[in-house]
Structure 1
Amino acid sequence: MKLVVFGANGPTGRQVTARALAQGHTVTAVTRRSGGFPLDAPRLRVARADVRDPAAVERAVAGQDAVLSALGAPYGRKPVTVYSEGTAHIGRAMTEHGVRRLVAVTSTVLFGAPVPEEGFFFRKVLEPLIAGTLGRTVYEDMRRMEEIVRRSDHAWTVIRPAGLFDTDDVSDYRVATARLPGRFTSRADLADAMLAEATGEGHVRAFVDVRTTRGTPSTLDVLRQEAFGAKK
């Protein structure tokens, strides 16, 4: 398939791009800074574009079979618009060029459901701190993004991972359309799930949780990573 990956130079985007190439797909990796992109392959095209530029987005989407969005933004006090603005431009470009399949990433926080099998401190203190204080502007824009996607007529899937961490290998992760137990999702598992959704029948017009079940880090490690500007 011909796949375009937005946010391709972020930690998740690089995993998606590498795994897509390894599976034999042709990939357009979209990044604001094309110089020094760490991957190189015959079926890879690196496109310099900002998702806030609708003309650039349209050029990247033209001729593709599916779109994968791994857009990310750091936590901070300033308003965040990259998710909603970028996704609106992606959606219009998909409509213009007849591209139907979209897989995008937000967060498990947006399920708005109790955390299964977690203790009082995580449910009542830690997650509210992350969702309501540290990451408030990020999650507000993710909600706007999800509404844009939900109202579209595309064949979309939104994946809502938990706290992201890095591993080299894909595990026997879990997937469900409701919030799963556990606090973490490896980027390898997230990338694998994104590709499985984009290239198969998948969970069309659904919000999907992906959860890593082994080899997970401590809550403190992930909190420290998220609080100091890690991107998807």
Structure 2
Amino acid sequence: MKIAVFGATGRTGSGIIKELTARGYNVQALVRPRPEMPDMPENVQIIQGDAKNKADIAQALEGADAVISALSTDKSDTLTTAVPLIIEAMQEKGIQKILTIGTAGILNARTEPDLYRFQSSESRRSTTRAAEEHARAYEALAASSLRWTVLCPTYLPDGEAHGNYRLEENVLPENGSSITTADTAKAAVEVFEKAPAFESMRVGLAY
């Protein structure tokens, strides 16, 4: 299987690349042009381009069977621009399966289930801009005909994979306070492989 990966050079995305290649997947990674390109495993094809450009997205999707996106808000409109373009390009190419990395802020609040966590008293965020971007990206996926999953980790420190993470549909696992980037990458690939069990839902992730 060939997977197109967006956000491949970020903290979580680079871990996802390692997990995928260790499991024998072929990977096409869309990477912004830069003077020195990042080192990638041998079975990763680097495609230089911009995730906010549909032609570059289409090139990254060429021959792919599925998509994993670890794109972040990048303190800009990257996420809300890129995700609708990825959806359009996937639909045009007949690719159905996508997993994206979101944020725990767009899970349902346990105390106020009609609200996202970032809108509720459960949130400790000083600003909601990034969560709002993630919410719009999730809503675009939810409105599409794709087989989508949004994995929503809580606080993401760097660290090794321990494997004792918890998953819960549409809410954050109770008392979950952190999850390392390495375990987030591991969980992303494991959730991706267990579809359709996790399709058409947000999945809360924490220790």
User: Shorter-chain TM-score: what band?
Assistant: 0.7 to 0.9
**154, 166, 178: which one pairs with 1:162?**
154
In the alignment, which of 180, 183, 186 is matched to residue 180 of structure 2?
186
The one-letter amino acid of 1:153's match is S
Question: Does structure 1 conserve the Cα–Cα contact (< 8 Å) formed by 2:16 and 2:189?
Answer: yes
Q: Deviation at 1:179? A: 1.8
Distance 1:82 1:139 in 2: 13
**Which is richer in helix?**
1
Cα separation, 1, equivalents of 2:39 and 2:160? 16
Greater CA deviation, 33-42 or 181-190? 33-42
Assess if the C-alpha contact under 8 Å between 1:157 and 1:204 holds in 2. yes
Which whole-Å deviations, capped at 9, do the CAs of 1:131-172 have from their partners, x for residues lacking one?
xx33x2211111111110000011100011101011122421
What SS does the aligned partner of 2:19 have?
helix
Mapped contact 2:73–2:133 kept (Cα < 8 A) = no
Looking at structure 1, the residues matched to 188 and 56 of structure 2 have their Cα atoms a distance apart, in angstroms, of 23
Residue 11 (structure 1) aligned with residue 6 (structure 2)? no
Cα 1:97–1:85 change in 2 (3 A) is: same
- Superposition map of 1:1-232 within 5 A: 1-33=1-33, 35-74=35-74, 80-114=76-110, 127-128=123-124, 130=125, 133-134=126-127, 136-177=128-169, 178-180=171-173, 181-201=175-195, 202-212=197-207
Tell me how far apart the structure 2 counterparts of residues 88 and 62 of structure 1 sit (CA, whole Å). 17
In structure 2, what is the Cα distance between the partners aligned to 1:65 and 1:35? 30
Change (3 A) 1:35 1:69: farther
Deviation of 1:20 (Å)? 0.7
Structure 1 residue 35: deviation in Å? 4.8
Report the CA distance between 1:72 and its aligned residue: 1.2
Larger RCO of the pair (alpha carbons < 8 Å, separation 6+) = 1
**Count of aligned residue pairs for this structure pair:** 196
What is the TM-score when the length of structure 2 is the normalising length?
0.87
User: Could you list the runs of 5+ residues in structure 2 that have no partner in the other structure?
Assistant: 112-119
What is the SS of the residue equivalent to 1:176? strand
Deviations 1:2-44 (A, max 9, x none): 1111010111110000111111110111121355344333311
